[in-house]
Structures are given as C-alpha cells and as structure tokens.
Structure 1
Amino acid sequence: MGKLVRDRVPEMIRESGRTPHVVTLSTNAYRSALLDKLHEEAAELSAAQTTESVLEEAADVLEVLAAIAVEHGVSLDTIGEVARTKREKRGGFAMRLWLEAIDPDPDAR
C-alpha cells in the first residue's frame, strides 16, 4: 500500500484510533514518489466529473507541483514564470487546436 501522503495524514490516522506505519524517504526516493504522486493526482483529475471535484483534484496536482518545485530549489512562482515565457513564445491552449498530422517538407530530400 505504500504511497506518499500529505504531512498530516499519519496524525489523522492516529486520531481515528488506528496506527500508521511511516518512514521518511531519502531524497531520490522522495523525488520518485513525487512523480508517482503527480501521475496519481493527474489520473484523479482526469476522472473528475464535477466542477467541484475538478477543483479539488487540480488543487492536489498543484500541491504536488509545489513540492516538486521546492525539491528542486525553486518556487511555484518560478514555474509560473517559465510557463508565461513559454506561453508568450509558443502560445497557450485557449484556441483548443488539435494537430492531426504534418505533411513532409517537399524540399527536404
């Protein structure tokens, strides 16, 4: 059952009368667990059916992204700045464009 959990989860388990068994992860294990958690939360976001559940799951994704940023010595604001720069250069997703295919360059032979 092992998985990365939020800091207060063991306390909440104890308050329910149960006993959590936790360990503190090494840096490499923590980084790997964060990526696993990001996949887990992204899957939950993908499965969300209501606006409320989309917001809850998006908040979880954001929390994991913030932890990943901190683990790499940057802030969530830094990720936001990089995203803004990429948006300025390549655009965002507001136009809902789906790339079907790319024809080969006739001059590249």
Structure 2
Amino acid sequence: MNFVTVDYATESDLEVSRFRWEENREKYLPQLMAKGLNRFTVLKIWNKEGVYRLGFWYEYKDPDAFAACKEIWGEIESQSQKRAPSKIFANRGVVLEDNKLPDKEI
C-alpha cells in the first residue's frame, strides 16, 4: 500500500495536473497493471483551506510489484513537475486491518 499527497501552488496547477493525467492514463495504466498495480485511486483533499492537494492511493500485488512500478511512476512524476511544480509526500505501509462493511445495518 502506498498513499501519496501532492500539494500544488494554485487550484489551476492542480487542475492542469489532473488534465495531463487524464490525457496519459491510457498509456501508463496498462503498463502499471502488468507490473502488479491492483488499484489506483485519486482523491481531492478538501478539508484544508487554502491548500490545493490531491491524494493518491495505490495497492500492489506484493512488494515486488511496488518496486517494479517505481520507474514508471518516476517518469510520470518528472513530467508532472515540469508542468506544475508541486510538493510530494509519500507514505508506504502494510495493511494491518481491512474491514469490508456490510451495506445493511447489523
């Protein structure tokens, strides 16, 4: 599991980053999936006033899959930094608890 937050200088920089990813995801997602990326989620963090932040949640098949994907993510990050400089905060961990809760009350 990997959770990354990215802070942008402006809302416009954040939106440009989203647009560029949407343009390129069809190129990169198949490569990442082939190397073991199982899930990729993008969040817009909204509870910090005056902060333009996205969150990225990644789930990999195993630690080897994470390592195999690092080069591709590095390429994506390098391109992104050229267009809209940002501050990146990476957090890596292993799942200690994962609860899929029922749709109905118990």
Compute the TM-score of the two structures, normalised by the length of structure 1.
0.36
Structure with more relative contact order (C-alpha pairs < 8 Å, separation 6 or more):
2
Structure with the higher fraction of residues in strand conformation: 2
Structure with the higher fraction of residues in helix conformation: 1
User: Which structure: larger Rg?
Assistant: 1
Compute the TM-score of the two structures, normalised by the length of structure 2.
0.37
